Amino acid sequence: MILASLITYWQAVLLGLLQGVTELFPISSLGHSVIIPQLLGWNIHQNDPYFISFLVATHLATAIVLLAFFWRDWVRIVKGLARSLRDRGIGPDDTDAKLGWLLVIGTIPAGILGLLLEHALRGVFASAQSASFFLMLNGVLLFGAEALRRRAPQTDTDDDTRIARQVGFPQSFFVGAAQALALIPGFSRSGATMGGGLLVGLSHKDAARFAFLLATPIIGAAALLKLPELFGSQGDGIRGQALVASLCAGVTAYLSVRFLMRYFETRTLVPFAVWCLGFGAACSVYFAVR
């Protein structure tokens, strides 16, 4: 491995800050991780083993921030799951248990598809040109979710009660499966799950909340599975940069989730759709003619 191909600390700072934002904003962290280094002329490619190990640290930092931000909710959810296992059923008013099982069911399809398809999809669609094209399609997906969303009545004052009563188990499986789109660079995990949430009748705020809760175990588990690679030979020369990047990702992830939970109280996915279409189209033209 030649030194010129490794990640500098300045690159690590930029990539970490970018990861914390783009993982939670519905604009595709993986797509931007492929596109930005190529736009800046860096000798970094998304399928380089050391770069994948580097990204593991930033994803783990994002998952930790999500877990910390919603920790009170996770405590209630885990207690609800434990009650349902003890009682061998979900009580009619036990919304914490219902939400917990919705998250379990939503995690299953994304986890299975991730294990089966991650390497194949990344290998096929790892170029900046294809990531730009799929970023445009992500914008179309967001516009489509806004156009087709169900406007169900939102009567409960408690966020989790609304989600538990509005979402059924088949719908949770559908929303969870939508996360698998994020295996293709350019599609957004949070965008796909928020869009799925809108289609099953959640408000923008509840769709964002459900998406972040659903993303936490998936992102965290995927990062933990790959963490040994960072401490193995693939992490040689980039562990310090990975630490710096993870700290930066943690800061921007916290600011992002805090901002988005307020933003979606009154606003929509449209600005993110516009960004994906515009930026994706501009990058597609640039990579085609350069």
The answer on pLDDT for 16 being more than 50 is: yes
Q: How sure is the predictor about 121, in pLDDT bands with cuts at 50, 70 and 90?
A: low
Q: How sure is the predictor about 52, in pLDDT bands with cuts at 50, 70 and 90?
A: confident
Predicted local confidence at residue 122, as pLDDT: 61
Centre a 10 Å sphere on the Cβ of residue 104 and count the other Cβ atoms it contains. 15
Tell which wins on pLDDT, 142 or 235. Answer: 142
Write the CA distances from 279 to 66, 201, 274, integer angstroms.
Answer: 27, 29, 8
How much of the chain exceeds pLDDT 70, in percent? 92
The answer to whether 99 and 77 have CB atoms below 8 angstroms apart is yes
pLDDT tens column, 190-217 = 999 999 999 999 999 999 999 999 999 9
Predicted local confidence at residue 53, as pLDDT: 85
Write the CA distances from 140 to 187, 193, 229, 273, 276, integer angstroms.
Answer: 10, 14, 35, 7, 8
pTM above 0.85, yes or no: yes
- What is the distance between the alpha carbons of residues 5 and 47, in angstroms, rounded to a whole number? 13
- What is the distance between the alpha carbons of residues 273 and 59, in angstroms, rounded to a whole number? 23
Predicted local confidence at residue 90, as pLDDT: 95
- What does the pLDDT average to over 48-74? 92
- What does the pLDDT average to over 58-83? 96
pLDDT tens column, 249-272 = 999 999 999 999 999 999 999 999
- Tell me which residue has tokens 């399609």: 137
Nearest residue to 166 (alpha-carbon basis) of 222, 205, 111:
205
The answer on pLDDT for 4 being more than 50 is: no
- What is the distance between the alpha carbons of residues 204 and 276, in angstroms, rounded to a whole number? 19
The answer to whether 22 and 275 have CB atoms below 8 angstroms apart is no
- What does the pLDDT average to over 103-110? 92
- What is the distance between the alpha carbons of residues 248 and 16, in angstroms, rounded to a whole number? 5
Q: Average pLDDT of the chain?
A: 90
- What is the distance between the alpha carbons of residues 30 and 129, in angstroms, rounded to a whole number? 13
Write the CA distances from 38 to 6, 46, 60, integer angstroms.
Answer: 14, 10, 24
